[in-house]
Chains A and B, each alone.
Chain A
Amino acid sequence: MAALTKRSKVVSNKKMSFWEKIYLPAILGGMWITLGHLFTRKTTVRYPEVTREFSEIYRGKHVLKRDDEGRERCTACGLCAVACPAEAITMIAAERKPGEENLYREEKYASTYEINMLRCIFCGLCEEACPKEAIFLTKEIVKAGYERDTFVYGKDVLLEPLDPLKRIDVSKRQTPEVLEFKKDKNQRHNVQ
């Protein structure tokens, strides 16, 4: 019968010699390979003490940005939620009251803003849809957890801290065209 593939081997039934019968050379050979692997470069890292290098545009946990004066940029326009293919984003809008101008950039803001991280697929379409440069994905990774409800991230987790030292730099995520556009201070969008 013709062989079905070129790689088929004819199995021989030949008798093993004495050295083959005691198996010791084969065992020692295997242990030599194991020993050799002890001295090669490791494929794993000791996370969290050591972290791998992240891409500048890694898509991790979201951040709700504030502007330079610390006002929330999000106006709850809902474009991120409608762009989201996983329908992970929900929000409730509220109207800014007189005296809250230092908290919110525009007359409408998101009183609640929630992202279900179990649904999120980290595609980045929300940051692409955002007309206010309010939502960005960051290099921070979403931590594992034991309870499902801990994965619904609200504004308490997502909002950028007010502390100037803890602000999150997203300029690497913006295209050169956007950065060029932001220099034009005649645009209302760019006025701080």
Chain B
Amino acid sequence: MFKITIDNILIEVEEGTTILQAARMIGGKVVPPAMCYYTGLKGSGGKCRSCLVKVAKGSAKDPRPMPKLVASCSTPVQDGMVVENTTSAEVQEARKGVVEFLLINHPLDCPVCDQAGECDLQDLSYGFGMEETNTREPRREYPVVDIGPLIKLHMNRCIHCYRCVLAAEQLTKKRAHGMLYRGDTMEISTFIQTAIDNDFSGNMIDVCPVGALTDKTFRFKSRVWFLNPMNAHRECSKCSGKVTAWMFGNEIYRITGRKDQFGEVEEFICNECRFEKKDINDWVIDGPRKIKRQSVISSNHYEELKKGSIIHPIEGTTEPQE
């Protein structure tokens, strides 16, 4: 077991954990944002640089600080390591730069995009983005492409995180899409628009941190904050059948995997559950999902208020009468 301090909070983790995973065990504001790292996908992480942290002390044996900021998603912890995330001004400044780079080619078409409201890049730019842009150059533009009959690809919005490529490679037997070209002009593509018809290809939508890959059956149907996310399940021969059903009244508008607080799905679900079962009779509704109070999805969703109880009545006052 290694002892590691993140933002002055001491935690004991097992050998081999990364800084990001250790921070997630603490939870709260300490957790660095991650755009490309995905726990369920092997080989993810290290690309977007938004999880940069400062290592003020390398380890108990070698207390020198690391010379540069490190990507917390791919740096394993050392015993006695001291990490600074929110407490370091250098990290915050660097993250601002990272967000600026991620947004260089992003069209910022959130009013049109179906991902708005549950988009990691949106959260990140709210936290660290600038109001203005330094670039004068035109943003790269691609036409909107259908990847198969169920998924729409907006290459303009892509931030090259590779999550979808890894998901396709690791969840399905044969991936039909990948990255073409290099650097700025890099592009997700299927070779000559080969249809992606694997049973688990829909998970590309869930792992995409931005709105580059979106559900074609939900395209422009509604906005996420008008819908109620509900836990639902059904018997499925291909996957666990545990999903989030996004409902409006008694109608199911779309089905996604159950995402945890870090935006990662608990279990990957199959295409039949995701795209074909949109009738309420197909599902057993377990109840509403917990939404973060800060999320726009929680707006206009009313919860019953619980009345607080008075613990220490001040001397000389009487308890309020009903």
Residues of A within 8 A of B (CB): 75-79, 81-82, 87, 93-95, 106-108, 131-132, 186, 188
A-B contacts counted at CB < 8 A amount to 40
Chain B minimum-CB-distance residue to A77: B111
Contact of B299 with A82 in the complex, beta carbons under 8 Å: yes
Contact of A95 with B299 in the complex, beta carbons under 8 Å: no
Contact of B111 with A87 in the complex, beta carbons under 8 Å: no
Contact of A77 with B110 in the complex, beta carbons under 8 Å: yes
**Contact residues on B (Cβ < 8 Å of other chain), bracket:** 10 to 19
Q: Which residues of chain B are near A107, meaning CB under 8 Å?
A: 112, 144
Q: Which residues of chain A are near B225, meaning CB under 8 Å?
A: 78, 82
Contact of B220 with A106 in the complex, beta carbons under 8 Å: no
Residues of B within 8 A of A (CB): 107, 109-112, 116, 136, 144, 219-223, 225-226, 296, 299-300
Q: Which residues of chain B are near A93, meaning CB under 8 Å?
A: 220-222
Which single member of B111, B136, B220, B223 contacts A95 (CB below 8 Å)? B220
Which single member of B110, B116, B136, B144 contacts A186 (CB below 8 Å)? B136
What DSSP secondary structure best describes chain A's contact surface?
loop
A79–B223 Cα gap in the complex (Å)?
Answer: 9
If A77-B223, A93-B220, A94-B220 touch, whether A82 touches B109 (CB-CB below 8 Å) is no
A100 to chain B, nearest CB (A): 14
- Given A79-B111, A107-B144: 16 more A-B contacts, CB < 8 Å: A75-B111, A76-B220, A77-B110, A77-B116, A78-B226, A82-B223, A82-B226, A82-B299, A82-B300, A93-B222, A94-B220, A108-B112, A131-B110, A131-B111, A132-B111, A188-B107
28 contacts between A and B (CB under 8 A): A75-B112, A76-B220, A77-B111, A77-B112, A77-B116, A77-B223, A78-B223, A79-B111, A81-B226, A82-B225, A82-B226, A82-B296, A82-B299, A82-B300, A87-B300, A93-B220, A94-B220, A95-B219, A95-B220, A106-B109, A106-B111, A106-B112, A107-B112, A108-B111, A131-B110, A131-B111, A132-B111, A186-B136
Q: Which residues of chain A are near B107, meaning CB under 8 Å?
A: 188
B116 to chain A, nearest CB (A): 7
B297 to chain A, nearest CB (A): 10
Q: Which residues of chain B are near A94, meaning CB under 8 Å?
A: 220
Q: Which residues of chain A are near B111, meaning CB under 8 Å?
A: 75, 77, 79, 106, 108, 131-132
A100–B70 Cα gap in the complex (Å)?
Answer: 49
B234 to chain A, nearest CB (A): 28
Q: Which of B112, B136, B144 has the most CB of A within 10 A?
A: B112
A78–B224 Cα gap in the complex (Å)?
Answer: 10
Q: Which residues of chain A are near B221, meaning CB under 8 Å?
A: 93
A148 to chain B, nearest CB (A): 22
Q: Which residues of chain B are near A87, meaning CB under 8 Å?
A: 300
A81–B219 Cα gap in the complex (Å)?
Answer: 19
A93 to chain B, nearest CB (A): 4
B70 to chain A, nearest CB (A): 36
A109–B216 Cα gap in the complex (Å)?
Answer: 17
Q: Which residues of chain B are near A77, meaning CB under 8 Å?
A: 110-112, 116, 223
A47 to chain B, nearest CB (A): 37
Q: Which residues of chain B are near A79, meaning CB under 8 Å?
A: 111
Q: Which residues of chain A are near B112, meaning CB under 8 Å?
A: 75, 77, 106-108
